[in-house]
A and B are shown apart, each in its own frame.
Chain A
């Protein structure tokens, strides 16, 4: 996992000055593939991740799989969250995963959210998606997923989209 350790991230936190403090956070792209036009969920996730201390790059609506791969590369993101509500997840999400693998971005962690029926999930896990969050998921759960990912990657277990499948949240 690509996480950055800011050399000296000084913070004013609740009026208390802590310095120097090492911090471990990720750069995460939150993307909306395909033609669906609703992004309240994606924005809620983006804010929750920001509040968890991560740097979140939101792509905006109607992105193609190629564009999303390009954005992950340019931003050197460690993780990618894909939100899909339109029912096209089984086509679009595997294309994004494939694109990342082809671009030597196999270590990027991919997770998905939105309306993804139970019977479609297994095939998405097979292409490298590590978590699928449906309606009712708490932001705490997503942050827990990311810290689990962190622990796994520290101990050398596969977490990336192009690494060995098998484990998912």
Chain B
């Protein structure tokens, strides 16, 4: 048995330290010891400042109350300048660190398209294998690269806030098309009702039975959070959204292949000098196949 199999065995028996070390190994690019994993995850995304982490904190409270375990992979961007990252999601999940039913791991994107994506699915499989019932991938839904991350989840929950004009941003970024359930947070604020209506009307074009539900919650007061948690097992997806997710995953894998290509450096230099065109560069890298 190699190191990762040892760690898996100990993690299965409930050793958090082994689980944590195993996730690190996978993050560093080692192969996962879990083959044909059956892990299923919920992606939670939405614009910055909309209350995703606070909402997850409240959802965790509900799960703890029910005696269900929950693992969160909280993804934040790495700084493009230093390569470092400031990961502050867990400061909003206040009750999480005193319960054995909760495991939170902060992950930085590490500025490597494909890098983090390569390890998300194995991580979810490992968590599932070790008995974590609810597995969440949290990411800021602000741009294309974040959509890539959340597309690795099996169901996607989009969180939005009242009157921020963000729903238009979400539509532009294409997150709306991926969402299986939409939640308007901060329902204690007066504009929340209006935001929910705006979202519903945006969704009503081409409505059918797979159109996502819109729920209102308040991570501040806890209102609606129990209903949200209760609704999660019944959230359905559509073939269109499934197709979109698979498409994003394929593009991630493609990126990854490109960046790991042995010809990347020489191709970049050639492009820099202008001695080949972009199309020639693509053809050159594809030849490797």
Contacts and interface: CB of A to CB of B under 8 A. Distances in A.
Interface of A: 2, 4-13, 17, 19-20, 23, 25, 46-47, 49-61, 63-64, 66-67, 70-71, 73-76, 103-105
Nearest to B111: A11
Contacts of A55: 78, 84-85, 87, 106, 108
Interface in B16-69: 16-17, 20-21, 23-24, 27-29
Contacts, number: 113
A60 B112 contact: no
Given A7-B28, A74-B20, 9 more contacts: A46-B86, A53-B84, A56-B84, A57-B90, A58-B88, A59-B90, A60-B88, A60-B94, A74-B16
Nearest to B99: A70
B81 interface: yes
Nearest to A50: B84
Nearest to B259: A10
A162 B85 CA distance: 27
A66 to B, nearest CB: 7
Contacts of B204: none
Q: Is the interface of A mostly helix, strand, loop or mixed?
A: mixed
Given A4-B24, A60-B90, A71-B97, A103 B17 contact: yes
Interface in B96-125: 97-98, 103-106, 108, 110-112, 115
B116 to A, nearest CB: 10
B134 to A, nearest CB: 16
A67 B97 CA distance: 5
Given A56-B84, A56-B87, A58-B88, A76 B97 contact: no
Contact of B83 (A25, A57, A60): A25
A25 B115 CA distance: 16
